[in-house]
């Protein structure tokens, strides 16, 4: 069964509202920056001292998801379920939904529908428990947009989530409308909504806005609308200079336009920025080096990429095929 509609694993584009998933400011900062090794160590220490600590439960589940470690992901279910059942809170339901969703990606055709249902139920519960938790509302919107009707999807349901939040949090509503517009391939509306979104001090909205501009830029690359793509990636680089998304997107654009030397420079720069491990940077770097004729350097980049546990399986498959041509 095709599960490409399941959206919560889209690398680089998924958000992790002033409501935060983690109450500890340092923990949330580590999560925002993708520093999951530091977060995992701190959460492990707290969990040893207090086995029923919900914050460490949530943090360890998110770290396991980020590391794409099936055994740790499975192990997180029992403690997350205890949190959901005994001490209901939005962050636990959100994390449990993410766990079910990731498991569904590799489940059999018999188990996948049930896991998809559990995913949706937990995201719904998270939104009900804390309407301000944008991570939950965002991923539930994506579920509705991408899932087929038999799995509970529907554009009308996504639009209802927008209507529900419009009066209280109009900036969230703008971003959600941009998601719907991208789904509908209404690029003009998507760009207008993104341009009008003002996240202010809301870090979650800022991350989501960065992700949506990146996604739109990549859509423009696919359409060969290179001026629009360049403008989108320049915005990301200007507003988020320490994050890899803008440089990565620019590298993709430069590959498509045959500017391989500049693409390599952009991708090498992206490798040193935060969030880089969640993006297929080495895959694209290998492509650019191969296009230049540097097979030895291309092999190094591609072999490094296929060892990245966080990599999207589709990109890994493509990278392996490229490596096969170098044999």
Q: pLDDT tens digit string along 287-300? A: 999 999 999 999 99
**DSSP code for 24:** S
How far is CA 271 from its chain centroid? 17
Domain that holds residue 107: 1-145
Is residue 177 one of the residues assigned to a domain?
no
Residue pLDDT, tens place only, 212-258? 999 999 999 999 999 999 999 999 999 999 999 999 999 999 999 99
**DSSP code for 39:** H
Mean pLDDT of 162-173: 92
Most trustworthy range by pLDDT among 103-117, 122-136, 160-174, 249-263 = 249-263
Is residue 13 one of the residues assigned to a domain?
yes
Mean pLDDT of 191-218: 93
d(CA 148, CA 120): 13
Q: Which residue is associated with the tokens 């690359």? A: 221
User: Mean pLDDT of all residues in the chain?
Assistant: 89
Q: Is the pLDDT of residue 211 over 90?
A: yes
Residue pLDDT, tens place only, 65-75? 988 888 999 99
State the DSSP H helix or E strand holding residue 201, giving kind and residue range, or none if neither.
Answer: none
Q: Is the pLDDT of residue 11 over 80?
A: no
Confidence of residue 100 (pLDDT cuts 50, 70, 90): very high
d(CA 7, CA 50): 34
CATH label of the domain that carries residue 98: 1.25.40.10
- CA distances in angstroms from 106 to 15, 84, 205, listed in the order given: 21, 24, 30
Query: What pLDDT, on the 0 to 100 scale, is given for residue 61?
Result: 95
Provide long-range contacts, Cβ within 8 A and 24+ apart, for 142-148.
Answer: 142/7, 142/8, 142/179, 143/6, 143/7, 143/8, 143/119, 145/7, 145/179, 145/180, 145/183, 146/5, 146/6, 146/7, 146/183, 147/5, 147/6, 147/116, 147/120, 148/5
Is residue 270 one of the residues assigned to a domain?
no
d(CA 93, CA 83): 8
Q: Which residue is associated with the tokens 């188990």? A: 111
Q: Is the pLDDT of residue 17 over 50?
A: no
Is residue 79 one of the residues assigned to a domain?
yes
Is residue 189 one of the residues assigned to a domain?
no
pTM more than 0.95 = no
Query: What pLDDT, on the 0 to 100 scale, is given for residue 18?
Result: 38
Confidence of residue 7 (pLDDT cuts 50, 70, 90): very low
Q: What region, left, alpha or beta, does residue 244 occupy, with left being phi > 0 and alpha being psi -120 to 50 degrees?
A: alpha
How many structural domains is the chain composed of?
1
- Strand pairing partners for 274? 243
d(CA 258, CA 133): 42
d(CA 202, CA 223): 32
The set of residues, in sequence order, having a beta carbon less than 8 Å from that of 269 and lying 6+ positions away, is 247
Residue pLDDT, tens place only, 27-58? 988 887 778 889 999 999 999 999 889 999 99
Q: Which residue is associated with the tokens 């191969």? A: 290
Q: What percent of the chain has pLDDT over 70?
A: 94
Confidence of residue 12 (pLDDT cuts 50, 70, 90): very low
- CA distances in angstroms from 217 to 30, 112, 226, 232, 276, listed in the order given: 27, 31, 9, 5, 17
How far is CA 169 from its chain centroid? 22
């Amino acid at each position: 069964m095709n599960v490409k509609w399941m959206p919560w694993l889209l690398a680089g584009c998924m958000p992790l509202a002033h409501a935060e998933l983690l109450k500890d400011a340092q923990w949330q900062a580590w999560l925002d920056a993708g520093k999951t090794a530091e977060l995992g160590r701190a959460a492990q220490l707290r969990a040893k001292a207090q086995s029923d600590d919900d914050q460490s439960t949530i943090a360890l589940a998110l770290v396991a998801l980020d590391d794409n470690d099936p055994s740790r992901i499975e192990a997180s279910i029992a403690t997350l379920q205890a949190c959901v059942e005994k001490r209901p809170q939005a962050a636990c339901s959100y994390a449990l939904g993410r766990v079910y969703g990731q498991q569904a990606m590799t489940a059999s055709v018999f188990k996948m529908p049930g896991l998809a249902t559990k995913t949706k139920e937990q995201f719904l519960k998270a939104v009900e428990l804390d309407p301000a938790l944008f991570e939950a509302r965002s991923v539930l919107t994506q579920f509705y947009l991408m899932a087929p009707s038999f799995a509970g999807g529907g554009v009308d349901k996504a639009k209802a989530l927008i209507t529900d939040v419009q009066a209280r949090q109009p900036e969230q509503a703008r971003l959600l409308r941009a998601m719907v517009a991208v789904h509908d391939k209404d690029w003009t509306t998507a760009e207008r909504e993104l341009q009008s979104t003002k996240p202010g001090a809301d870090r979650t909205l800022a991350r989501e806005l960065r992700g949506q501009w990146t996604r739109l830029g990549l859509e423009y690359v696919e359409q060969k609308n290179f001026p629009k793509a360049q403008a989108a990636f320049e915005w990301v680089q200007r507003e988020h200079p320490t994050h890899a998304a803008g440089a990565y997107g620019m590298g993709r654009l430069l590959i498509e336009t045959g500017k391989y030397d500049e693409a390599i420079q952009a991708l090498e720069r992206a490798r040193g920025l935060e969030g880089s491990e969640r993006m297929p940077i080495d895959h694209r770097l290998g492509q650019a080096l191969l296009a230049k004729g540097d097979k030895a350097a291309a092999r190094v980049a591609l072999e490094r990429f296929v060892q990245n546990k966080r990599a999207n399986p589709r990109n890994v498959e493509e990278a392996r095929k490229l490596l096969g041509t170098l044999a």
